[in-house]
Structure formats: C-alpha cells, structure tokens
Amino acid sequence: MMGVAVTVLIPTTLRSFTGNRSELSLDGATVSEVMDALVKECPDTEMALFDEDGHLRSFVNVFVDGRNIKETAGFDTDVRDGAEIMLIPAIAGGSGSVIGDREGEKLSNDEISRYSRHLLLKEVGLKGQRRLKSARVLIVGLGGLGTPLAQYLAAAGVGTIGLVDYDAVEASNLQRQVIHRTRDVGRPKVASAKEAIKNINPLVKTETYNTLLTEKNAMDLIGDYDIVADATDNYKSRYLITDVCALLGKPDVFGAMYQFEGQASVFYAKEGPCYRCVYPAPPPPGLVPSCAQGGVVGVLPGIIGTIQANEVIKLIVGGGDSLIGRLLVFDAWRMRFRELKIEKREDCPLCGKSPDITEPVGYDYDEFCGLRQEEKEEPIEGIEAKELKRRMDAGEPITIVDIREPHERAIVKFPQAVVIPIGQLARRQSELDPKVDTVFICKEGKRSILAIRTLREAGYQGPMYNLKDGINTWARDVDKSFPQY
C-alpha cells in the first residue's frame, strides 16, 4: 500500500519534543510508518514516546480517528488518507443511579423553591432531587478542578460533600481557584472551601479532611461516600483513587488538565474501564510537567470541573449517557472537543479477569510512580542556590543550563545561563564541556532532574548538578528582585 497523508495531533505536554508544533502532516500507510516518520521529523520524540526497548511508553495512547490502536491492529493498523492520529498521554453509557433507590428525606418548601429549576426537569424531578439530597460525594483536591466541583455540587443540593486537601491557599491559586478569596491566602483550603460552600448553600453538610490521601486512610475515607471526584494533580493520587474506587465498587469521576488541554471521564470498574485500563503506568517523573510547572489558563479547570460535576449529578440522579467508557478531550485554545472510546482490559491488574491489586496497603505507589529512587540508580546531586551564587561570584568554571521554555524565560532570565530546551539535550550534549561542572535549572527543580537523567542515558559523562527547588528558591534565598511564579 502506498503511503497516505495523515495528520498527527501533538498534545501540549509533548510539544517541547516537536519544536512546539501542535500538528504535523506525515506520510504512512500504517500507524508504524507514521510513527517512524514522526521520529524522523522530530528525533526528540523517540525518547518521549518509546522506552529503551522501542516499545510505546505505558502512559501514552495512540488513537486513529477516535479509536485506540490497542483495540485494532496496534502499530500495524492501516490509516486512510486524511486520517487523524492523536497522541493522548496521561496528564499528574446510560445508567441507573449509583445510590439505588435511596431517596432520603422529603424536600421542604424552602428546598422546593431553591431547587425548582431542577424539579422542572423530568430527568431530575422530585425523585432525582431527593437522591441528590441523600448523596455523599467526596472531592479529592481543592485546586482548580475541585473549585467548580464543590461550588456546583453544593448549589445542586448534594446532601453531603467531603473535602480532602492538605494545602493552604496561595496567591498563585487565585487565578483559577475561584472558591478561594484574597483574604483566604494562608488558610487551609478545606477551611476556605467549607466557608464558601456554606455561603452558597447552607443546607449542604460539609465534612473536611485536612490531610493527604494515603494508602492507609483511603479505604476508610472513600468507603464512606457514594462517588469520588478526582480533582488531584499527581499520578500517585490518581492511581490510589482509581484502585480504591474499583475495590470498593465506587465510581471515580476523573478530570485532568494542563495549559489549554483537559480530559474527563468516569472510571467505574463495575460497568467499564478503570484508569489503569487506559494508562497502565505513569510517565517518568518530570517528563509530563504539572500545572505548577507548565501553567494553565484560568478558565480551563472551570470547564473540566463543571463537566465532572455534571457527571456526578447524572450518576446520582440516574439516566443520561455518562462518560463511562469514553474519554472526553478538550482543547480550549482551539475550542475543540473530541470523544475517544476506551475499553476495559482483560489483563488489567486492577479490574481485569485475574487482578493482582487487592488492597492499597502494601502496594508501593511511590515505586510504581517512580518517586522512590532505585538503589541501582545513581543519585542526582543537588546544589543550593546560595552555593551556586558563591561559585558564580568567585568566577569558578561552571556551566549553567536553563532548560525552561521560551515563554518562561520571558518572565525572568537567569544570569550567565545558556539555553537548551529539555527536548534537545540529548542531541546537543556536545555543546557541554564534560570537564566543567554543569548546573541545570528550571522552575521547581524537577524537570532539571529529568534533564540530568536524560543526558546520563545518552552517555554524557560530565559532572551534573540540579539547582535544588529551582529558580523559586533563588528568588527566596539569593535575589529578592526575582519574581516567584
């Protein structure tokens, strides 16, 4: 078969490996040929998409015209002329009510007035509103996604809302986390959100947990609720939530976002796939930046979070077409929604025919997510900001490499730094002097760790250091004129 023209859509998280291009027109008769053309066109994508054995990394899914190639012929899948191939990395049906016939107490006249617009909908009505009143929903994470979730579920009359978060409100949160106010900076997020919910709807009961969700407390916390809304920003929490939800038979209403792109789905092992079916493993630490590292447009979490809230309401009320078995992908910059079909995997270690994961306690989520350094792995040496400043002032031979993206460097430039984006490091290693100490810098000191590991795998032998906690610690400890962002 002769090659055909195919459009490959590149998500934001992978664009640093394609020269920031969002789509490429490539030739190929099969997915394999198109991916070969992609690597040839953008060599840096090979490291991002494939492991050392040449296999597609577990955190990446490839869809052809909306269908996962795992459900077709894999890389041998034929592509038609004009087809769209989407790379979907992990970003950190109609059904009855998940609460059954539990309807709780009757509605008071005040509640009938408050929820009248729901009552006028035959799909909700009095029965559905009473179900909402009796429902218990746990929101894990009170950041960008948790904000609209809490607000809209409270306004809708969900009887009990549980809030899990261990962070305090920061000034940088206010650009998108609109449940919090300027006066709340420094307060625990659960306290700020509880107060806001009371102002929205004093009829709602709010239970707060100012703690980190862990393997030890997740079963008890989640077990006390009907539905869990995953509004977290890290992979460890996502896998822990999906595992406990599957084990307890609870639906996991999922949302994720980065820069201008968002994802939403409902992972309900009783009726469809779980998160592990779609993403068997997370990306290597640092490869996919968090919102704190890469940013997010303020309205995006509002859009994705309200989609999550909509899914929660439908699961409680019953009826409608939920996102079970479907992954909704949204690009706010191009204002495009795409729907991708996702399947339950028979070999899934959580919800497949022979599951290996039977309880969260004893499962090493840190190791699974690459958060624990292997004994065989060479440690990454760090350098404190003050020590780096001393060496610079003393004129010691040292190379500083800024791996941030151009728009980040526009915020603040680091003195004496050369610029090599992280996606170009392996092929530009010849620009570094292996006889001189090299210090890698980024915003928080996480991507720079990945940079060092990338160069080690590429065979670079020179001494390398990571600026601990990144440029923000330089702003705190060395140069107060530097902005923190």
Q: What positions carry a catalytic annotation?
A: 291, 442
State the CB neighbour count (10 A cutoff) for residue 321. 11
Q: Where are the beta strands (DSSP E) in 278-429?
A: 326-331, 336-341, 382-383, 398-402, 417-419
Residue closest to 11 by CA, chosen among 87, 69, 80, 85:
87
The residues, any chain, with a CB within 8 Å of residue 257's CB and separated by 6 or more, are 91, 144, 145, 263, 291, 296, 300, 301, 304
Is 269 within 8 Å of 278 (Cβ atoms)?
Answer: no
Between the CA atoms of 322, 324, 326 and 329, what dihedral angle is there, to the nearest 10 degrees? Answer: 70
How far is Cα 160 from Cα 137, in angstroms, rounded to an integer?
Answer: 6
Site of tokens 């947990």: 209
Helix (H, G, I), strand (E, B) or coil at 212: coil
Provide the CB-side half-sphere exposure for 434 (13 A, CA). Answer: 9
Exposed, middle or buried, 283 (CB in 10 Å: 0-12/13-18/19+)? Answer: buried
Alpha-carbon separation of residue 248 from 49, 165, 168, 222 (angstroms):
34, 21, 30, 8
How far is Cα 413 from Cα 385, in angstroms, rounded to an integer?
Answer: 15
How far is Cα 402 from Cα 281, in angstroms, rounded to an integer?
Answer: 29
State the CB neighbour count (10 A cutoff) for residue 32. 16
How far is Cα 414 from Cα 439, in angstroms, rounded to an integer?
Answer: 12
H helix intervals, 21-171: 31-41, 45-49, 109-114, 116-119, 125-134, 146-156
Helix (H, G, I), strand (E, B) or coil at 93: coil
Measured in residues, the chain has a length of 485
Site of tokens 């040292």: 398
